[in-house]
């Protein structure tokens, strides 16, 4: 209804309203004092005392309540909107409209209610002048400061854009989409990937002049040094993902998910890299009936979850004034990417329903948070481009509270598109159960998911209907199936084995790996 109420500048709207409110009252008090002082040279002491009491009375009983007009006028004029991308002229027009509307309404009502006294009328004239001067002066200073900061940020971004972003695991389910989006935004991108699952997800970007591919194992020290050299920042996505896939080779999972992360941290610090984004998982929360926040106690129930929480600890322990890692705990991902996956619950159940197969829901009352893969990419880009003071040394749950669902809810969403599908329920040994709070990333970065479960279900159905994906059950779409056939990559270099052994030292992880 009111365009001015759209895209409010949420992080600082309260402080802006308070600051404007203080300016209004400072101007009011100054106007009343100035009006009173003007009559002191000829008035008797009794008259001065009476006028002073009158000024205080007018302020408390008339001007104070009427001052609420100004925040309302400023709000409706668009002064509290997010002004990113606004020209100076557009900002000035919004300010002028808000000020004019506030002063006209305030003055008109005040004059109608004022007692027959010259003090109030004089005060209003002075107030209007002081308020206009004060507001324009403060806002002009704010705009000048903003312009200076923007120019510096632009110069810094230009410097950063000349150096690539390193995406470790850039040929994967999330990485391939992230690489494409970064290139689309004009960033230079370097990918380090072993291409275990092939290079098909990167074929559309291989000839981009801003793209560089280093084929290699992130566990190899020399390869890691080469990949990190000269980059601006690192996004670490490489991992053996998922509990079943980690079960294929626990040692390879320990090395890839944990030891390689520790090694990359040391290489990054040695190269002077400050910004390091790490893809963790909400699986670290394990099983809990509480609403989990970033400060909740983690209780991983699998080797995969334990490698993530131990990697987080290694990153945060390495944090200092120069090295400022950011950890993003991903909700359960769904949706299509250049490297499709059908070992993810929403994708798999949708594909089964589309094929006319029964869909089985294990432990239907268990909770999971969900997020579309494109929203994951958007979250990483927002964190990558945010001021490092906002995100450095921080852990964020990446998702949206409105996408917390039970697995039964997931089935119900799929049934809306496939009403004839058969749903079967069964228990299994997966004890994970967690609802997650995503308020921190929403308030800190303004992140909210743009795609819901229904969108992802329709997207999967469209891909299968168009036959761009022929057989969702093929091993190439499942990490666990693929690794069971191809096997996990092993190191044939003695130095790499020693490096991984050194960085794999984690008593808790070793115990978990041995017990599973």
The mean pLDDT value for 216-233 works out to 95
Element (H, E) at 166: strand 165-168
The answer on 108 and 202 residing in a single domain is no
pLDDT band at 364 (very low <50, low <70, confident <90, very high): confident
Which of 88, 123, 158 corresponds to the end of one domain? Answer: 158
The answer on 167 and 30 residing in a single domain is no
Which of 97, 126, 158 corresponds to the end of one domain? Answer: 158
The answer on 210 and 151 residing in a single domain is no
The answer on 218 and 124 residing in a single domain is no
- Any residues with CB less than 8 A from the CB of 332 and at least 6 apart, and which? 282, 344, 345, 346, 368, 369, 370, 371
Q: How much of the chain, in percent, has pLDDT values that exceed 90?
A: 54
Tell me: pLDDT of 51 over 70.
no
Nearest residue to 23 (alpha-carbon basis) of 122, 142, 108: 142
The answer on 299 and 189 residing in a single domain is yes
The answer on 374 and 262 residing in a single domain is yes
Residue 3's pLDDT is what? 44
The answer on 62 and 9 residing in a single domain is yes
pLDDT per residue over 18-35, tens digit each? Answer: 888 888 888 878 877 777
Residue 413's pLDDT is what? 96
Residue 187's pLDDT is what? 94
With respect to residue 439, please indicate whether it lies within any of the assigned structural domains: yes
pLDDT band at 10 (very low <50, low <70, confident <90, very high): very low
Residue 76's pLDDT is what? 84
Domain of residue 193: give its range: 163-333+369-402+431-454+486-515
Residue 82's pLDDT is what? 61
With respect to residue 343, please indicate whether it lies within any of the assigned structural domains: no
Q: Is 275 helix (H, G, I), strand (E, B) or coil?
A: strand
How many of the other CB atoms lie within 10 Å of CB of 30?
16
- Which CATH number goes with the domain that contains 184? 3.40.50.720
The answer on 208 and 135 residing in a single domain is no
User: In whole angstroms, how large is the CA radius of gyration of the chain?
Assistant: 30
Tokens of 351: 């594909």
Q: Which of 141-145, 265-269, 387-391, 499-503 is the least confident region?
A: 141-145
With respect to residue 294, please indicate whether it lies within any of the assigned structural domains: yes
Residue 6's pLDDT is what? 44
Tell me: pLDDT of 398 over 70.
yes
With respect to residue 463, please indicate whether it lies within any of the assigned structural domains: no
With respect to residue 242, please indicate whether it lies within any of the assigned structural domains: yes
Cα 75 to Cα 18, 206, 476, distances in angstroms? 13, 48, 54
pLDDT band at 191 (very low <50, low <70, confident <90, very high): very high
Which of 129, 158, 187 corresponds to the end of one domain? Answer: 158
Tell me: pLDDT of 159 over 90.
no
Residue 428's pLDDT is what? 73
The mean pLDDT value for 73-94 works out to 74
The answer on 245 and 195 residing in a single domain is yes
The answer on 184 and 123 residing in a single domain is no
Tell me: pLDDT of 293 over 70.
yes
The answer on 178 and 49 residing in a single domain is no
Burial of 313 (C-beta count, 10 Å sphere; 0-12/13-18/19+): middle
The mean pLDDT value for 53-76 works out to 80
Tokens of 160: 């950063």
Top pLDDT among 502 and 181 is at 181
With respect to residue 413, please indicate whether it lies within any of the assigned structural domains: no
How many of the other CB atoms lie within 10 Å of CB of 356?
10
| C-alpha 226: how far from chain center | 30
Q: Kindly report the average pLDDT of the chain as a whole number.
A: 85
Q: How much of the chain, in percent, has pLDDT values that exceed 70?
A: 85
Tell me: pLDDT of 164 over 60.
yes
With respect to residue 470, please indicate whether it lies within any of the assigned structural domains: no
Tell me: pLDDT of 356 over 70.
yes
The answer on 325 and 300 residing in a single domain is yes
pLDDT per residue over 227-253, tens digit each? Answer: 999 999 999 999 999 888 888 889 989
pLDDT per residue over 402-447, tens digit each? Answer: 999 999 999 999 999 999 999 988 877 776 788 999 999 999 999 9
Number of domain units in the chain? 2
pLDDT band at 116 (very low <50, low <70, confident <90, very high): low
């Amino acid at each position: 209804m009111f365009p001015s109420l759209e895209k409010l500048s949420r992080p600082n709207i309260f402080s802006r309203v308070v600051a404007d409110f203080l300016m209004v009252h400072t101007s009011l008090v100054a106007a009343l004092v100035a009006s009173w002082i003007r009559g002191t040279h000829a008035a008797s002491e009794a008259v001065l005392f009476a006028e002073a009491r009158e000024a205080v009375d007018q302020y408390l009983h008339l001007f104070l309540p009427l001052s609420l007009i100004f925040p309302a006028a400023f709000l409706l004029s668009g002064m509290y909107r997010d002004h990113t991308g606004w020209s100076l002229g557009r900002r000035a027009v919004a300010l002028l409209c808000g000020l004019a509307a506030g002063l006209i309404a305030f003055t008109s009502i005040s004059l109608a209610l004022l007692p027959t006294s010259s003090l109030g009328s004089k005060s209003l004239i002075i107030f209007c002048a002081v308020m206009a001067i004060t507001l324009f002066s403060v806002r002009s200073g704010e705009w000048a400061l903003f312009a200076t900061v923007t120019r510096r940020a632009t110069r810094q971004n230009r410097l950063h854009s000349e150096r690539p972003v390193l995406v470790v695991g850039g040929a994967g389910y999330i990485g391939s989409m992230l690489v494409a989006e970064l290139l689309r935004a004009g960033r230079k991108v370097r990918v380090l990937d072993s291409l275990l699952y092939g290079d098909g997800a990167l074929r559309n970007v291989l000839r981009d002049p801003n793209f560089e591919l280093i084929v290699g194992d992130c566990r190899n020290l020399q390869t890691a040094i080469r990949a990190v050299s000269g980059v601006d920042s690192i996004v670490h996505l490489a991992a053996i993902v998922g509990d079943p896939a980690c079960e294929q080779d626990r040692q390879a999972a320990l090395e890839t998910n944990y030891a390689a992360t520790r090694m990359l941290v040391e290489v990054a610090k040695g190269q002077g890299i400050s910004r390091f984004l790490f893809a963790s998982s909400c699986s670290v929360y394990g099983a809990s009936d509480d609403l989990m926040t970033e400060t909740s106690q983690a209780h991983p129930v699998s080797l995969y979850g334990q490698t993530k929480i131990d990697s987080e600890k290694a990153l945060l322990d390495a944090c200092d004034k120069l090295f400022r890692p950011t950890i993003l705990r991903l909700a359960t991902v769904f949706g299509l990417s250049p490297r499709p996956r059908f070992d993810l619950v929403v994708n798999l159940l949708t594909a089964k329903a589309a094929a006319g197969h029964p869909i089985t829901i294990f432990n239907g009352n268990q909770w999971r948070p969900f997020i579309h893969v494109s929203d994951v990419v958007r979250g990483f880009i927002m964190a990558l481009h945010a001021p490092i003071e906002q995100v450095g040394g921080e852990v964020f749950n990446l998702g949206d509270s409105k996408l917390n669902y039970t697995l039964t809810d997931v089935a119900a969403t799929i049934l809306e598109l496939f009403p004839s599908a058969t749903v079967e329920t069964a228990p299994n040994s997966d004890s994970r159960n967690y609802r997650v709070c995503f308020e921190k990333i929403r308030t800190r970065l303004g992140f909210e998911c743009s795609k819901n479960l229904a969108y992802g279900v329709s997207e999967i159905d469209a891909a299968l209907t168009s036959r761009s994906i022929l057989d969702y059950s093929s091993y190439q779409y499942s990490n666990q199936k693929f690794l069971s056939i191809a096997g996990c990559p092993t190191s044939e270099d003695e130095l790499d084995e020693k490096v991984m052994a050194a960085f794999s030292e984690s008593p808790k992880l070793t115990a978990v790996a041995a017990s599973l």
